[in-house]
Structure 1
Amino acid sequence: MKKRIHQIELFMKYPHDVQKEILTRLLHTAKDTEFGKKYDFKNIKTYEQYKQTVPVQAYEALYPYIERRMKGEQKLIWPSDIKWFAKSSGTTNARSKFIPVSTEALEDCHFKGGKDLISIYVNNNPDTQIFSGKGLAIGGSHQLNELDPSMGSHYGDVSAVIMQNLPIWAQFIRTPSLDVALMDKWEEKIEKMAESTANENVTNISGVPTWTIPLIKRIKELKGTDNILDVWPNLEVFFHGAVAFGPYRSLFKELIPSDQMKYVETYTASEGFFGIQDRSDSDELLLMLDYGIFYEFIPYDEIHKEHPNTVGLDQVEIGKIYAMVISTNAGLWRYSIGDTIKFTSINPFRIKIAGRTKHFINAFGEEMVVENAETAITHACDTTGAVIENFTAAPVHFTDKTRGGHEWIIEFQKSPDSLDRFALILDEKLREVNSDYDAKRYKDIALKMPVLHAAQPGTFYEWMKKRGKLGGQNKVPRLSNTREYLDDILKLINGE
């Protein structure tokens, strides 16, 4: 682990050299694939050539190659035999995306990221006792790929793909057993996980906050305690990702009432492992530059263009929002993953996740991104003593008689002292962090005060269940520029 810390310090010191070497290696490795021949990889020598030769790819552009690979063809976008696909949330054309996961991506990205997470944590906490017990991992499920005539490939949540392929030594230090961890029926899985882990010495948890909460609650019920530390007295850290932790922090302090408990954020996706919170005094994420991934970035005002311009690491600016584009050791070439980030530092490169390119509200020119919403709702919770489980928001469109605005559905674990005061503080914070929103809210000319609905406990869980989206990497959409999600949840609230 100490050796790896030195290697991390090296890519922090020489980021551009490391990224240049990775691009060269990726192009050389894939030059004889169908995609590599189409774009003449063997004659691309510089980033500028690469940028001019290969267009930015959405999932739809790569899907024909991925579908052919799922049906058994090889060496289309990556030369090694791809036997695993990470299933993630869908596109406009399909309910799900299937992201290729090569052996190289598993070893040099996903596994390496997990090992680096532990290395960084131990380096920051030399007195840690996490190795005295087990790590509880909350993941999804996988299944056989029925399109492959050889029956030799599988697909599932990326967490399940990783768990299934972990080396033997890693299986000894994790819980629950694989047959429970990879169950596909979420409610039954929660019950089995609670039963099988309640008597283990769990020192660390890895998972999505949304799905960790019901597990902890169920274990507390089984053990008849209000304090999970009565069950796991040596629990010391929660490694979390997939959703921003700010809105959940108060809830976790109630679930795990210890000032010594540590929380470490990661930036992971089906496409790769991208960032780790490397400092305890900051929630910034260190961009991991030596995982076989080459990074590019689309400036915010270019995101929705048909042919967006991209910049490399050497051109990014602190504080600006970019969509992330990656080229990977699983054959994703100039692939726009749909996430937006902003740089908080460029020496070394540290980032914060701003949201999704498709999860925003811009019905009135307010350009509100997920980061704005999460910052404001966290502040409103802290100020009013509220604790939330989930939320979503969407626009209220103009009519001939009413102004537009934003409508929110919030599920409170602990209600605020006043819902009206909560709405006022939420609105004030949004105006503070987003000047476009502030301008539209001026004297209520374009936007009226936000409309808030307090949902009953379990509402979002039931909605996700109804959509077949329980567990795994599934997340509640925080913002939408349409009312599709919000109206669907309102029907559930109103018993329709």
Structure 2
Amino acid sequence: MDILTKAISLFFLQRQKNIEKFGQDTDIIQRRQLHALLAGARCTEWGRKYDYKSIRSYEDYRQRVPLQTYDDIKPYVERMINGERNILWPSIIRWYAKSSGTTNDKSKFLPVTNEILRGCHYKGGFDCVALYLRNNPESRFFSKKDLILGGSHSPSPLNAQAHCGDLSAVLLQNLSPLVNLMRVPSKRVILMDEWESKIKAIVENTWNKDVNSLSGVPSWMLVLIKAILQKAGKENLTEVWPNLEVFFHGGISFEPYRDQYKALIPSGKMHYVETYNASEGFFGIQDDPDNPSLLMMQDYGIFYEFIPMNEVGTSNPTVLPLEAVETNKNYAMVISTTGGLWRYQIGDTVRFTSLFPHKFVISGRTKHYINAFGEELMVDNADKALSLTCRETGAKVNEYTAAPLFILDKAKGRHQWFIEFEEMPPSISEFAALLDKHLQELNSDYEAKRYKDISLQPLEIIISKEGVFYDWLKQKGKLGGQHKIPRLSNDRTYLEELLEVNQREHYN
């Protein structure tokens, strides 16, 4: 460890000790979090509506406050954006994280209060470094530069009182000047909105710097790495940045990209640390380099609850506090936060791998989805886009499913749609182009990944022979109204099985 990193590391020692201790005190810490949240919002409109002043226990809270989705809180958020105060949270809220995935909207806007910004998101970043330094005492982390690759939406005004942007853009916009001294490229470059120009500018501003840490989404970082190598005329990143030692990654699964990173960064001193920092809050950090599980961070101003996956969507699901979960079961996550979210269902599912300390893996979403490249494509988006496309082309669809296809040597991929038509469109290529267009209109994350084919190529349609979906269900013993075709999947298991049946039908 160099002298500068060794000196700065002293500031992380106490936090490292605290993290080790609070893993055994989950129930105590979480109850304190709940009482602090209730006290902080007791005089808000929301707190008065549910009489937070009289809540004395978790049981009171669970019975009194209903579960929420974004559609439930949207009217409150719109009022906050328009300048009303003391609605969901007492402090003035000037920033909103823009995120896709709601049922009725292209984007949702999540409040980023000063409390959630400082006490959760930035605290999570601090803890990432604290745990990394604990695990890597030979690190030279603070003697070099950190390259942070942010999102696709630069901060923009919603009105005179409020601004929005991707969470990464909001975080970068509000970073301490001291942190900016260590970071490349400049704030002006990293907050550029046009992706193609942004990537070029980042390459020009960083390829000859001494970078030793990366932070970002694996798919987009891979695109940037290949652009850096092209600029430098090198075969691997170690030749460009010989002191590179860590990649803090999150947003999508790293597994599809792991082998590519190992090939492009052939260094025994390279480390990979997963984080779980969503628009709603910072939820986990990989604290053990030999274990892919994430450590649930209990003192970030978040109170956690969990719904067993088999009860998601039911009228009266079982809801459990963090202390009551079990290992190896899938749960949908519910949060109450200093960001003004109350019993909010974020749509993610987790599976705990250990308790006290609580460690987990992200097991998926509460509904079928594709998020192989950060596009967060939901079934609702797919259904609506397909309906619009059929309406415009005169086609009719019996069944369909879609899954990602990774093109490993190009750091990108595409979606493959397997469709059984009742009536074929006049042109499959026109149908595919229209479907792609409507998906971009309905989903801003898909639109960003499709921009100029940088990360996601145009979708591909494979035509199913008649009866293939029926035969596939019959083969599995799942004929009947209770068994449905999975519309979207983040892996290719269903699609490959269907393609096999389709191929078999071709020869019969």
Name the TM-score class by shorter chain.
0.7 to 0.9
Q: How many pairs align?
A: 406
Question: Which blocks of at least 5 consecutive residues in structure 1 are unaligned?
Answer: 362-369, 375-387, 396-402, 416-459, 487-496
Counterpart for residue 477 of structure 2: none
The CA deviation at 1:174 is 0.6
Give 2:128's match in structure 1, choosing from 113, 117, 132: 117
TM superposition shift of 1:482: 2.5
Q: Is the 8 A contact 2:26 2:356 kept in 1?
A: no
Aligned counterparts of 2:363 and 2:55: Cα–Cα separation in 1: 32
How many Å separate the matches in 1 of 2:23 and 2:488? 43
Match of residue 143 from structure 1: 155
Compared with structure 1, are the counterparts of its residues 132 and 28 closer, same or farther at alpha carbon in structure 2 (3 Å cutoff)?
same
1:102 aligned to 2:97?
no
Partner amino acid for 2:353?
T
Structure exhibiting the larger radius of gyration computed from Cα positions? 2
State the 1:6 CA deviation: 1.3
In structure 1, the residue corresponding to 2:147 is in which secondary structure?
A: strand
Q: Give the conservation status (yes or no) of the 8 Å contact 1:296–1:311.
A: yes
Match of 1:432 in 2: none
Match of 2:487 in 1: 482
* SS of equivalent residue, structure 2 residue 84: coil
* Inter-CA distance 220–475: structure 2 relative to 1 (3 Å threshold): closer
How do 1:95-494 and structure 2 match up within 5 A? 95-140=106-151, 141-146=153-158, 148=159, 151-359=160-368, 408-414=403-409, 467-470=446-449, 481-482=486-487
How much has 1:305 moved relative to structure 2?
1.6
Q: Is the 8 A contact 1:302 1:309 kept in 2?
A: yes
Instruction: State the 1:405 CA deviation.
Output: 9.5
**TM norm structure 1:** 0.76
Q: Are the aligned partners of 2:368 and 2:378 in contact in 1 as well (CA < 8 Å)? A: no
Select which of 21, 41, 58 maps to 2:52: 41
Native 8 Å contact 1:344 1:352 kept in 2: yes
Q: In structure 2, what is the Cα distance between the partners aligned to 1:313 and 1:353?
A: 15
Whichever residue aligns with residue 331 of structure 2, its letter is: Y
Which segments of 5 or more consecutive residues in structure 2 lack a partner in the other structure? 1-11, 383-397, 411-435, 457-484, 492-508
Could you tell me which residue of structure 1 aligns to residue 39 of structure 2?
Answer: 28
Shift, 1:410, TM fit: 1.3
Change (3 A) 1:471 1:347: farther
**Contact in 1 for aligned 2:374/2:445 (Cα 8 Å):** no
Say if 2:402 and 2:488, in contact at 8 Å, map to a contact too: no
Shift of 1:268: 1.0
- Contact 2:155–2:169 under 8 Å retained in 1: no
Kindly provide the amino acid, as one letter, of the partner of residue 114 in structure 1: G
Q: Distance in 2 between matches of 1:243 and 1:128?
A: 26
Q: C-alpha distance in 1, partners of 2:361/2:446?
A: 29
State the percentage of identical aligned residues: 46
Going from structure 1 to structure 2, the CA distance change for 1:475 and 1:265 (only over 3 Å counts) comes to farther
Q: 1:338 is paired with a residue of what secondary structure?
A: strand
The answer to whether the 8 A contact 1:136-1:176 is kept is yes
Deviation at 1:475, TM superposition (A): 9.7
Contact 1:389–1:412 under 8 Å retained in 2: no
Alignment TM-score, normalising by the size of structure 2: 0.74
Q: 1:193 to 1:336 in 2, by over 3 A?
A: same
Kept in 2: contact 1:339–1:353 (CA 8 A): yes
- Alignment partners' CA distance in 1, 2:89 and 2:374: 41
Question: For the residues of structure 2 that align with 1:260 and 1:106, how far apart are their CA atoms?
Answer: 32
Task: Please name the residue that 1:56 is paired with.
Answer: 67
In 1, Cα distance between equivalents of 2:450 and 2:255: 20
What letter corresponds to residue 60 of structure 2 in structure 1?
Answer: Q
Cα distance between partner residues in 2 of 1:352 and 1:92: 26
Aligned-CA RMSD value: 3.3
Given residue 40 of structure 1, which amino acid in structure 2 is its aligned partner?
Answer: D
Q: Report the alpha carbon displacement of residue 301 of structure 1 after superposing the two structures with TM.
A: 1.0
